[in-house]
Chain A
Amino acid sequence: MSKVIIKLGNDISTDDIYPGRFMATVLPTETPQFAFFDRTEFNAQLKAKAFAPGSIIVGGENFGCGSSREQACSTLKGYEVAVIAKSISRIFLQNSINLGLQVVICPGIEASEGDDLEITADQVLNKTTGKAYDQVKLPAARKGIMDAGGLIPYTRARLMAKV
């Protein structure tokens, strides 16, 4: 079971998750400090490790829209949080799968900050309200990458198979 640490609205852009002015910082080990930087209080809580790994960010429609910057995923991956959103923009979804950031598409999700959620194989259960919401399965084409633990090990295996 995991807590909802922030509830966000629709169209959360990658500029919001990782502002452009920090884009010269690229390494996954260095990006977490700038997560949601302009949401000052939330950024401070993340940096203070106020949230347990597995904690959940709930988003609305079109989460992660905008720029392809992968920092928007590595910055969240650094805290091992999960994202549950009503829908997720294509490149952000792809980057999340590639980096192993847990993302769940759940069109009906209703949850407030502080709620306890459980992510099952095909549903999200809100333990606080007692309601269950169906997940939309991630693209089947991406299963191989997830099973390999991300695109780097997946590509490495494909490369070795070619030799």
Chain B
Amino acid sequence: MGMTVVEKILARAAGLPSVKVGDVVEPKVDLAMSHENAALVINQFHEVYEGTGLTAKVWDPSRVAIIFDHRVPAESPKTATNQKKIRGFVADHGITKFHDIRGDVGGICHQILPEYGYVRPGFVVVGTDSHTTSHGAMGAFSFGIGATEMASVWSLGIAVNIEVPATIKVVVKGEFPPFVGPKDLILHLIGKLTAQGANYKVLEFHGETIRKMSTSGRIAICNMSVEAGATSGIVPGDAETLRYLREEAGVTDPIPCVTPDLDADYVRTVEIDVSTLVPQIACPHMVDNVKPIGDVAGTRIQQIVIGSCTNGRLDDLAAAADILRGKKVAQGTRMLVFPASSKIFAQALDKGYVHDLMKAGAVVMNSGCGPCLGVHEGALGDHEKALSTTNRNFKGRMGNPTGEVYLCSPVVAAASAITGVITDPRKG
């Protein structure tokens, strides 16, 4: 029996000829990513070393990445002090893949890692963030862990006692209709699988639609795989992965790709034809509460958000600018835009998208997680509704337990900003 792509990656990283579902392995970690919660990782890391007489030292500083994105710039002295503590640790340990709060190289961790070529096909990537699944878009096995587990990785350089997960094969065919895209595909899939349908499993994406999809779109679908409970989403590395890494990330060294065997064993196969897909909306308060846009069109919205690790990339901003150019954000609705990285922000400036969005009335903020997780700016007022391109709509998510969050694609968010109600962009 052949191996899935994740089985192949784990076998290589664990130094084994082959592995199968349920095997317990200890893969070497190629990249270990944290954001501001590195403050907790540092605490746990020092606890590991307590009483050992050993000097606490991360196993390989070149394989540790720390990116500030959740609360940038700091919203409180507490956060600022956490960030200060992390900067000290970064300097002490010689961590080079560090992205501070900056207008040149800053951004959201799940954009920075691909953008700087830190993630390659075949890598084992762990991150103290559930949306670490994003980096499956680069052909890596990439999954979220807690802070204590990261402290263990920093100490040992391996992920301890990992069970090889089963894989669901997702085959996507057909061409997206106008105003329908990767975000609608992943929302549709989550609705179909449910919020725990892929718990402990990997979603491996295949099919002509995926092959033709940009890295930006692939990041969006891998990013949200965790909303179906998946350990990771993954698009096996291909020509587009190489193009992105060479042309956009500037990688010059060899990039071997890992692909699954033809006779690999999948626990389930799901087939989706996107040619008949309509814009999808995840309604409050669960990401799997997905409805076709017609069911909720007309719902009044007070806050539109475009951005995040899911949909804050250049093509997302371009799509929004194309819809809003020469138009105005409705009175009674506010629109916040968060580019996924400073580099994307600069590109959007050069191309005039930022100007288009601002002229329409949108507020363009510095890149970062923004209001997505309710810890920083853009909180909702009591009983307000948000329509957002982010990835979660749990009760209280945007900082207010009485608020409601609807999730959608960038074109739906932009079209709805003009009208102030959830609007089908196909009818614009």
Contacts and interface: CB of A to CB of B under 8 A. Distances in A.
A35 to B, nearest CB: 14
B54 interface: yes
A151 B152 CA distance: 7
Interface string A2-45: 00000000010101100111011111000000000010000000
Contact of A159 (B40, B155, B163): B155
B156 A158 contact: yes
B52 A98 contact: no
Interface string A125-153: 00000000000000111101100001110
Contact of A90 (B49, B129, B231): B231
Interface residues of B, number: 55
B195 A62 contact: yes
A70 B196 contact: no
Interface residues of A, number: 48
A62 B161 contact: no
A68 interface: yes
B394 interface: yes
A73 B196 contact: no
Given A23-B37, A155-B160, A89 B151 contact: no
A98 B44 CA distance: 11
Contacts of A154: 152, 160
Given A16-B394, A38-B401, A87-B196, A95 B374 contact: no
Interface stretch (B70-78, B105-113, B173-181, B413-421): B70-78
A91 interface: yes
Given A15-B395, A24-B82, A141-B163, A70 B195 contact: no
Contact of B163 (A61, A62, A139, A160): A139
A61 B128 CA distance: 23
A95 B146 contact: yes
A27 B144 contact: no
Contacts of A159: 48-49, 52, 54, 155-156
B43 interface: yes
A70 B151 contact: no
B27 to A, nearest CB: 13
B140 interface: no
A20 B70 CA distance: 10
A156 B52 contact: yes
Nearest to B40: A26
A152 B151 contact: yes
A68 B144 contact: yes
Interface string A70-89: 11010000000000000101
A90 B200 contact: yes
Contacts of A152: 44, 47-48, 148, 151-152
Given A89-B199, A160-B52, A141 B24 contact: yes
A13 B399 contact: no
A66 interface: yes
B290 to A, nearest CB: 14
Which of A16, A23, A98 has the most chain B CB atoms inside 10 A of its CB?
A23
Contact of B145 (A20, A91, A144): A91
Interface string B34-62: 00110110011001111110100000000
Contact of A16 (B128, B373, B395): B395
A150 B71 CA distance: 30
A126 to B, nearest CB: 24
Contacts of B286: 11
B146 A91 contact: yes
B74 to A, nearest CB: 9
Contacts of B48: 152, 155-156, 159
Contacts of A24: 36, 71, 76, 78-79, 82, 375
B392 interface: yes
15 contacts: A13-B394, A15-B395, A25-B78, A38-B395, A67-B129, A68-B145, A70-B147, A89-B229, A95-B148, A145-B160, A152-B148, A152-B151, A154-B152, A158-B155, A160-B52
Interface of A: 11, 13, 15-16, 19-21, 23-27, 38, 61-62, 65-71, 73, 87, 89-91, 94-95, 98-99, 139-142, 144-145, 150-152, 154-156, 158-160, 162-163
